Amino acid sequence: MDEFDVIWHTEPSLDDPVLVEGLPGVGHVGKLAADHLVDEFETDHVATVYSEHFPPQVTVEDGVSKLASAEFHAVDADGTDLLVLTGDQQAGDGPGHYRLTTTFLDVAEECGCETAYALGGVPTGELIEEYGVVGAVSEASLVGPLEDAGVEFRDDEPAGGVVGVSGLILGLGGRRGFEAACLMGETSGYLVDPKSARAVLDVLCAKLGFEVDYESLDERADEMEEVMEKMQEMQQQSTQTPDDDLRYIG
């Protein structure tokens, strides 16, 4: 295998497509949101990217293994063309993040994308009542239109900047001429958070002018709610402090 192996499954003909990235990260918010778009609309599997910069790992489903990879799907979102990038892994090393993102942007450019949305979560450290969506953009002119779509831009957030592929889609994408924005749903940071994913999708829909059915995402949210209630019961029955019991569950 070469450093990168881009397998094209189909040559998509897309109309002014928008790159939407959702790889694993805080609360799996970005991944949940991107996967939901792939699940809800008609899609074409465009390309698969393998790389030695992914962890040396296969995932297994029904006994069948799948090598660490990222997938591009052409998604017809109610007439809006999306190129959705999903996967189960981030890069395993620093330079690998730069090189993977460069490869991703190459594919997106080849598909005609000039705009990119990186979806993700921003950890608040506490349970969320109202799910805000925090934004970061590649150029100042993008702030206004996103505020109109409900995105919040805050002075000191996200405090540590944006790391990983999402950050580099802003940084490397912006340098290559992409209009790039990162939409980060607030999330506790402790749990896989379908509600935060829905908040992010709400903003994306408002901005791009399409609608998506949330039923399956809401069901997933209900399941998480049940998990949390069970955990809280267990906490009350035990002598341990709540903090000791909170683990990352999905």
Residues lying near its own copies in the complex (CB under 8 A): 1, 3, 50, 52-60, 62-68, 91-99, 101-102, 135-140, 143, 153-155, 157-158, 160-165, 167-168, 170-172, 174-175, 182
- In the bound complex, what is the minimum distance in angstroms from residue 126's beta carbon to its own copies? 19
- In the bound complex, what is the minimum distance in angstroms from residue 147's beta carbon to its own copies? 9
Nearer to its own copies, 78 or 93 (CB): 93
The CA angle 139-143-148, to the nearest 5 degrees, is 155
Q: What is the rounded CA–CA span in Å between residue 67 and residue 56? A: 8
- In the bound complex, what is the minimum distance in angstroms from residue 142's beta carbon to its own copies? 8
The CA angle 240-245-248, to the nearest 5 degrees, is 170
- In the bound complex, what is the minimum distance in angstroms from residue 88's beta carbon to its own copies? 8
Q: Which residues have CB under 8 Å from 99's CB, separation 6+?
A: 3, 4, 51, 53, 91
Please give the C-alpha separations between residue 219 and each of 47, 193, 225, 226, 231, in angstroms, as whole numbers.
Answer: 30, 12, 10, 11, 19
Nearer to its own copies, 37 or 203 (CB): 203
Nearer to its own copies, 82 or 181 (CB): 181
Q: What is the rounded CA–CA span in Å between residue 165 and residue 3? A: 17
In DSSP terms, 19 is beta-bridged to 83, 116
Q: What is the rounded CA–CA span in Å between residue 138 and residue 154? A: 15
- In the bound complex, what is the minimum distance in angstroms from residue 72's beta carbon to its own copies? 18
Nearer to its own copies, 125 or 160 (CB): 160
Nearer to its own copies, 100 or 221 (CB): 100
Tokens of 38: 């792939």
Cα dihedral across residues 29, 222, 248, 153: positive or negative = positive
Nearer to its own copies, 126 or 147 (CB): 147
- In the bound complex, what is the minimum distance in angstroms from residue 213's beta carbon to its own copies? 26
In DSSP terms, 87 is beta-bridged to 70
Q: Which residues have CB under 8 Å from 96's CB, separation 6+?
A: 51, 53, 54
- In the bound complex, what is the minimum distance in angstroms from residue 172's beta carbon to its own copies? 6
Nearer to its own copies, 98 or 210 (CB): 98
